[in-house]
Amino acid sequence: MKSYTIYFLTGGLFTLLIVALEEHGARLLSGFATLMPVFTLVAYVFIGESRGGTAVGQHSWFVLAGTLVSWVPYMCTVALMAPRYGSRVAVATGMAVFFVLAGAYLGVVHHYQLVGEA
């Protein structure tokens, strides 16, 4: 349970930093921090400690493909919709796009057993 608390606090700390920088007008720093792969950074450190480098390498390929399939369309949706419909509608629509595409990606990965065990 102690490890889960550390994982939670580490991820929350990065999120807090990003929002605080944006609210204080440090847009470049906020943008840089947002571009950092925070969740994979934190997760891969802990996965590496518990399962080793092979597991991290396999997971990285899985996430890279999933990013291209689901995250890139999510970001395009938000970028294109936000100016016209506002951030809430754009993000909600983007998340719907993300979940549909991520679900399809995971379905294909599961069906064809494309992820091996480390």
Q: Provide the terminal-to-terminal Cα distance of the chain, rounded to the nearest Å.
A: 23
pLDDT value of residue 6:
81
Mean pLDDT in residue range 65-94: 97
Q: Is residue 73 part of a domain?
A: yes
CB 61 within 8 A of CB 33: no
H or E segment to which residue 55 belongs: helix 53-66
Q: Which residues span the domain enclosing 91? A: 53-118
For the full predicted model, state whether its pTM sits above 0.85: no
**What pLDDT digit, counting tens, does each position of 13-70 carry?**
888 888 999 999 999 998 888 888 877 888 899 899 999 999 999 999 999 999 999 9
pLDDT value of residue 116:
65
Number of domains in the chain: 1
**CA-CA-CA-CA torsion sign (81, 87, 92, 98):** positive
23-32, Cβ contacts within 8 angstroms, sequence gap of 24 or more? none
Q: Is residue 10 part of a domain?
A: no
Q: Is residue 40 part of a domain?
A: no
Q: Is residue 57 part of a domain?
A: yes
